[in-house]
Amino acid sequence: MATAAEGDGRRPLVAILSGAGISTDSGIPDYRGPNGLWRRDPDAEKLVTYEYYMGDPEIRRRSWQMRRKNRTLMARPNAAHLAIADLERAGTPVRVITQNVDGLHQLAGVPERKVLELHGSARSVECTNCRARGPMADALARVEAGEEDPACLECGGVLKSATVMFGESLDPAVLGEALAIAKASQVFLAVGTSLQVQPAAGLAGVAADHGARLIMVNAEPTPYDHLAAEVVREPIGTALPKLLASFANPSA
């Protein structure tokens, strides 16, 4: 889990809040965007809604088929993910707070302890009864072998993706750590997120209230643009590497 840290005196602590827009270049759809899945097929939202998932075996079967076809596990980091990893390797204090569940920041090379996953990870499964966890790939292999609704191997309970479904609350410990990072940051970038969904959206305001330089990198306007020192509307894959290069060399 990411931990808050102060800048090293020469380089500011850079906090990066990433949303779905940072991963679209990796082939992962933006579910809430103008052409997102939830707008095109509102009924699909039931597949990731806790109440429906737990109460309807057919919803679970459809959910496992959706996961089986999902491109998330096959996706690779794009230029934006790699630029963040490069910034961290260059010695700049970096903490990533992500609304995404794709694990691409870690695959790009950002250390696990510096990435905070607000909504969990699609690369793991957890049991809703005993909370045992395991790789999503293993559960999907069982689906491929014919199990339509694979149960927990430990206790027989219902398995779900280790993500925060609609109707579930964020882990308060994870949210508390995100708030600590936002408060400690000297620079706070919101990248590829509409900042529409609370409480994650409020982190930008918290950072600005505590003196951080707020930078927005998003295709569409957000409710926090008026607080930003800089708003970037260029494509993330080209804009973010250029922007972060200026942080990698503080004397530039």
Catalytic positions are: 119
3-state secondary structure of 92: coil
d(CA 252, CA 249): 6
Alpha helices in 27-171 (DSSP H): 37-40, 50-55, 57-69, 79-89, 104-108, 136-144
d(CA 25, CA 234): 13
Tell me how long the chain is: 252
d(CA 46, CA 63): 9
Tokens coding 247:
């942080």
31 in the Ramachandran plot: left (φ > 0), alpha (ψ -120 to 50) or beta?
A: alpha
10 in the Ramachandran plot: left (φ > 0), alpha (ψ -120 to 50) or beta?
A: alpha
d(CA 153, CA 72): 24
Q: Do residues 62 and 43 make contact, with C-beta atoms less than 8 angstroms apart?
A: no
Phi, psi of 83 (to 5 degrees): -65, -40
Task: Using alpha carbons only, give the angle 132, 134, 138 rounded to the nearest 5 degrees.
Answer: 140
Strand-strand pairing, 14-18 and 94-98: parallel
